């Protein structure tokens, strides 16, 4: 017996639910790449990116996923053999550093913990010890999608300043932009990047890099530049140069529609919605945790993401629960990856999500816990409802 007919929810940490307005924006013929609506769309996407990143810097748009944006950030600003310091708080900053190694960089990992965000004091200490200035860039994710950690980027920049170090600060906001506050210029971030398919509610296939002043300066002498990623060519006067060839037209129309949705709601309200829905999720998990099996992966309450929640399981297999929510209820919840593979679930609550989707997801999980006899405290969903009712 299943109850899955009806609207299905994709509650994984990317790709995410795509709004109907965004889907409809793509349902049109291809257009001329030299004049007409595409030119205006590019302008709106560029100015929309500045607003999202809160930066006066230079945006670049790639027909690529997040991995492409990683390459673009590194290859445009660094030289072969340069050392990058990767701040570990899960899987994704490491992946970025590994991409750097293939590109020709040396990677040093500032060891972290999969249950905690990056410790800014450890960053300061490591940079203070780098008296020769070997480290040219610090790579960090604002939210690590594997661990559910949220890193305090402003504090990390303060740690770099306190150490008197002039490495570039590069931030991956793929799982946080359009979900949680990000202030590129105010915080002193030199390069920030993101992808289309998570908080930004657009199908996968676009990624974005915002280059600040110091990054643009570093570009002038970078020797790892590649043809497709290269900022110099993309700064050229012709429209097609911004894309190094034919623009990904339909994804741009989609992204424009997503930007309009964010603009209509208001970016700060978007952040607030994510904060409330994330806290409701955590309230439910705190109740379920009373059964001794489920637990929040991130132990520091101040280091938890509002876009994805990672739940650990002790003494029970999470796979049947995920199968239950999907096959019986029509809700896809994420599995854990990397060091946590097979040990828990990841609940994505980012982008196009409302109270019904989050409460429905939590209900499907709680129903599954009961059906599968996984020990848990009863009333997690009620706790989420009570929290939201009180917070509105």
Residues at the contact surface with ligand PLP, assessed by CB under 6 A: 14, 65-67, 92, 141, 145, 172, 174-175, 195
Using CB positions, name the residue nearest to ligand PLP.
66
Minimum distance, C-beta of residue 110 to ligand PLP, in the bound complex (Å): 17
Indicate the DSSP class of residue 340. G
331-335 and 9-11 beta bridge pairing: parallel
User: What is the Cα–Cα distance from 102 to 117, expressed in whole angstroms?
Assistant: 26
**Of 141 and 259, CB closest to ligand PLP:** 141
Per DSSP bridges, beta strands 135-141 and 83-87 are parallel
At its nearest, how many Å lie between ligand PLP and the CB of residue 277?
Answer: 18
**Which of residues 100 and 360 has its CB atom nearest to ligand PLP in the complex?**
100
Give, in degrees to the nearest 5, the angle at Cα 116 between 114 and 117: 110
Structure tokens at 50: 């500045």
Helix (H, G, I), strand (E, B) or coil at 296: strand
CB of 64 to ligand PLP, least distance (A): 8
Please, what sign has the CA dihedral across residues 14, 148, 151, 179? positive
Residue 204 beta carbon to ligand PLP: minimum distance, rounded to whole angstroms: 6
Do the beta carbons of residue 71 and residue 48 sit within 8 Å? no
In the complex with ligand PLP, the residue whose CB is nearer, 305 or 361, is 305
Q: Closer to ligand PLP at the Cβ: 170 or 359?
A: 170
Smaller CB separation from ligand PLP, 145 or 297: 145
Cis peptide before 346 (omega within 30 of 0): no
Q: How far is the CB of 68 from ligand PLP (least distance, A)?
A: 7
Output 65 or 363, the one with its CB closest to ligand PLP.
Answer: 65
What is the Cα–Cα distance from 21 to 285, expressed in whole angstroms?
32
Least gap, CB of 6 to ligand PLP (angstroms):
28
Nearer to ligand PLP, 112 or 195 (CB): 195
Q: What three-state secondary structure class fits 381? A: helix
Nearest distance from C-beta of residue 309 to ligand PLP, angstroms: 14
Of the candidates 75, 52, 44, the one whose C-alpha atom is nearest the C-alpha of residue 232 is: 75
**In 3D, which of 175, 118, 195, 204 has the Cα closest to residue 306?**
175
């Amino acid at each position: 017996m299943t109850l899955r007919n009806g609207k299905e929810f994709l509650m994984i940490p990317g790709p995410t639910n795509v709004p109907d307005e965004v889907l409809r924006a793509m349902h049109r013929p291809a257009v001329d790449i030299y004049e007409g609506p595409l030119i205006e769309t590019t302008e709106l996407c560029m100015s929309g990116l500045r607003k999202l990143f809160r930066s006066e810097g230079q945006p670049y748009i790639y027909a690529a996923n997040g991995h492409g944006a990683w390459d673009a950030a590194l290859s445009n600003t660094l030289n072969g053999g340069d050392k990058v310091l990767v701040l570990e708080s899960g899987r994704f900053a490491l992946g970025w550093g590994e991409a750097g190694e293939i590109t020709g960089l040396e990677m040093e990992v500032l060891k972290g913990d999969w249950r905690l965000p990056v410790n800014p004091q450890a960053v300061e200490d490591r940079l203070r010890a780098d008296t020769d200035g070997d480290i040219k860039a610090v790579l960090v994710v604002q939210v690590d999608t594997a661990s559910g950690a949220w890193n305090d980027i402003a504090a990390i920049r303060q740690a770099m300043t306190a150490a008197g170090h002039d490495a570039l600060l590069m931030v991956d906001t793929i799982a946080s932009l359009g979900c949680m506050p990000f202030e590129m210029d105010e915080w002193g971030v030199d390069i920030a990047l993101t992808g289309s398919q998570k908080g930004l509610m657009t199908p996968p296939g676009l990624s974005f890099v915002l280059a600040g002043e110091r990054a643009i300066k570093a570009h002038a002498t970078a020797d790892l530049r590649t043809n497709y990623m290269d900022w110099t060519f993309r700064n050229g006067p012709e429209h097609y140069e911004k894309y190094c060839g034919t623009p990904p037209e339909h994804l741009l129309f989609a992204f424009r529609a997503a930007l309009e949705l964010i603009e209509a709601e208001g970016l700060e309200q978007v952040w607030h919605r994510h904060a409330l829905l994330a806290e409701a999720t955590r309230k439910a998990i705190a109740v379920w945790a009373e059964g001794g099996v489920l637990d929040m992966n991130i132990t520091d309450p101040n280091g938890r993401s509002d876009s994805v929640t990672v739940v650990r399981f002790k003494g029970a297999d999470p796979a049947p629960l995920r199968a239950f929510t999907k096959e019986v209820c029509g809700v896809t919840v994420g599995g854990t990856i990397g060091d946590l593979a097979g040990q828990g679930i990841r609940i994505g609550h980012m982008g196009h999500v409302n109270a019904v989707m989050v409460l429905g997801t939590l209900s499907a999980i709680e129903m599954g816990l009961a059906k599968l006899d996984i020990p848990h405290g009863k009333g997690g969903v009620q706790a989420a409802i009570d929290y939201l009712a009180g917070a509105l």
